[in-house]
């Protein structure tokens, strides 16, 4: 055994009653009551005991019970000095009982001290205490030496077995508590991840929808300030209304996504470009369903890229290419270049940055920049 084993206390879970089955607790109380009954019987069965002696014996039994309860409490709190002091009081009571002719109670106390010490104290302190208690029992027991030796060995073994059983029960309680804590942490982490996902979906939907509406409303304001005709102003207002309607549809779609009810990605991209002139969608590779997070990321990047085209490259032709690779899905959005819109400076400019962060959370990447003709956005998401 290592030094740690000799100086280590049994855990509080081992010394407590938590996790102990009800029948076993009832058996433990029955044994304690039996010990008290034996002490009382041994005290009052002596012929030489008078009234004063009987009162003193009853007081001694009561004191032994109180000290035993205190010993159980201090060992549960891992307080070594008070525990040794209390078990020393019990050994002294046993000596006093033997000196006054109460041999039966004395033997019971010595045995109880030996077994309890092995069960509840660190082994470095339990072994000397058990040796004192069981040696005193051997010295004053009237049985033949072989019977006494067998009894002492059996009690020492019983105390150590009780210790091992308590430590096993305590370890089971600790593992159960750790498992519960791990499950609670896992549930909390899952809830936090889900809340983050919901917040991200709401942010992306609102950012896209409101940004598009802002483009048209700001255009309408500029047209009014410049004295444009009614038809051009009305066109912008109608477009803003359409964006609001689309935003409501996207919000419903986001809610459906959170419930796991997503439309096929190819259909979504086709619907996304259906109202845009010069925009087309190409799908290559073996089509397969994606996770909700990956699918939503592709959708949001496509929306953001088309919004940027409307803002910064009016009249440009747009090609959306969705490629299903073996290990990743790639979305490419390329425009042919167009004239800067009236509202090039409108909006916060954080759309692609947010999409890049979203892609990186999934272990993917997003690249955006100009090419020979116009502007290219490339998203790669592992699957």
What's the full length of the chain, in residues?
A: 383
Residue 323 has pLDDT above 90, yes or no: yes
Residue 50 has pLDDT above 50, yes or no: yes
CA–CA distance from 347 to each of 208, 209, 211, 237, 250 (Å)?
10, 11, 6, 18, 19
Query: What pLDDT shows up at residue 81?
Result: 92
Query: What pLDDT shows up at residue 380?
Result: 92
Rg (CA), the chain: 41
Give all domains of the chain, ordered by start, each with its CATH number: 3-142 (no CATH), 263-383 (3.30.565.10)
Share of the chain above pLDDT 70, in %: 79
Task: List pLDDT tens digits, range 51-74.
Answer: 666 677 778 778 888 998 898 889
Report CA torsion sign: 168, 170, 176, 182.
Answer: negative
Most confident of 183-192, 262-271, 370-379: 370-379
pTM (predicted TM-score): 0.47
Residues 14-38: what's their mean pLDDT?
A: 68
By CB atoms closer than 10 A (0-12, 13-18, 19+), residue 40 is middle
Query: What pLDDT shows up at residue 85?
Result: 92
More confident residue, 310 or 261: 310
Query: What whole-number distance in Å separates Cα of residue 238 and Cα of residue 242?
Result: 6
More confident residue, 199 or 362: 362
Task: List pLDDT tens digits, range 249-307.
Answer: 667 666 666 666 567 888 888 887 876 677 888 999 888 888 877 888 888 888 888 87
Share of the chain above pLDDT 90, in %: 7
- Asked whether the beta carbons of 330 and 380 are under 8 A apart, the reply is yes
Task: List pLDDT tens digits, range 341-360.
Answer: 544 444 444 467 778 888 88
Q: How many distinct helices (H) and strands (E) make up the chain?
A: 12, 5
Task: List pLDDT tens digits, range 148-160.
Answer: 788 888 888 888 8
**What is the chain's mean pLDDT, rounded?**
79
Query: What pLDDT shows up at residue 20?
Result: 63
Phi–psi pair at 46, nearest 5 degrees:
-75, 135
- Residue 102's SS3 state is coil
Task: List pLDDT tens digits, range 226-250.
Answer: 888 888 888 888 888 877 876 776 6
The number of angstroms, rounded, from the C-alpha of 101 to the middle of its chain's C-alpha atoms is: 61
Residue 215 has pLDDT above 90, yes or no: no
């Amino acid at each position: 055994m290592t030094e740690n084993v000799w100086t280590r206390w049994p855990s509080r879970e081992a010394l407590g009653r938590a996790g102990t089955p009800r029948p076993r607790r009832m058996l433990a109380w029955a044994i304690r009551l039996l010990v008290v009954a034996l002490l009382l019987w041994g005290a009052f069965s002596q012929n030489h005991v008078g009234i004063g002696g009987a009162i003193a014996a009853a007081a001694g039994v009561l004191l032994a019970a109180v000290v035993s309860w205190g010993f159980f409490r201090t060992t549960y709190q891992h307080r070594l000095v008070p525990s040794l002091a209390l078990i020393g009081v019990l050994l002294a009571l046993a000596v006093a009982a033997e000196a006054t002719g109460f041999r039966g109670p004395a033997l019971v106390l010595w045995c109880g001290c030996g077994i309890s010490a092995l069960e509840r104290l660190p082994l470095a302190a339990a072994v000397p205490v058990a040796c004192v208690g069981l040696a005193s029992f051997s010295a004053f027991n009237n049985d033949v030496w072989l019977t006494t030796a067998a009894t002492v060995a059996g009690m020492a073994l019983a105390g150590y077995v009780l210790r091992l059983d308590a430590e096993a029960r305590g370890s089971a309680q600790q593992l159960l508590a750790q498992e519960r804590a791990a499950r609670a942490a896992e549930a909390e982490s899952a809830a936090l991840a889900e809340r983050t996902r919901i917040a991200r979906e709401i942010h992306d939907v609102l950012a896209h929808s409101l940004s598009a509406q802002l483009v048209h409303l700001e255009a309408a304001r500029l047209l009014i300030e410049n004295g444009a005709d009614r038809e051009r102003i009305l066109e912008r207002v109608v477009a803003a209304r359409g964006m609001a309607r689309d935003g409501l549809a996207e919000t419903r779609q986001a809610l459906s996504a959170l419930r796991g009810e997503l439309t096929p990605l190819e259909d979504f991209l086709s619907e996304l470009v259906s109202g845009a002139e010069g925009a087309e969608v190409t799908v290559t590779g073996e089509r397969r369903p994606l996770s909700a997070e990956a699918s939503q990321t592709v959708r949001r990047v496509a929306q953001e890229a088309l919004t940027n085209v409307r803002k910064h490259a009016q009249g440009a032709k747009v090609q959306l290419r969705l490629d299903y690779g073996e290990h990743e899905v790639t979305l490419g959005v390329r425009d042919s270049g167009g004239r800067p819109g009236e509202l090039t400076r409108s909006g916060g400019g954080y759309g692609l940055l947010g999409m890049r962060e979203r892609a990186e959370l999934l272990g993917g990447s997003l690249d955006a920049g100009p090419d020979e003709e116009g502007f290219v956005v490339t998203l790669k998401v592992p699957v």
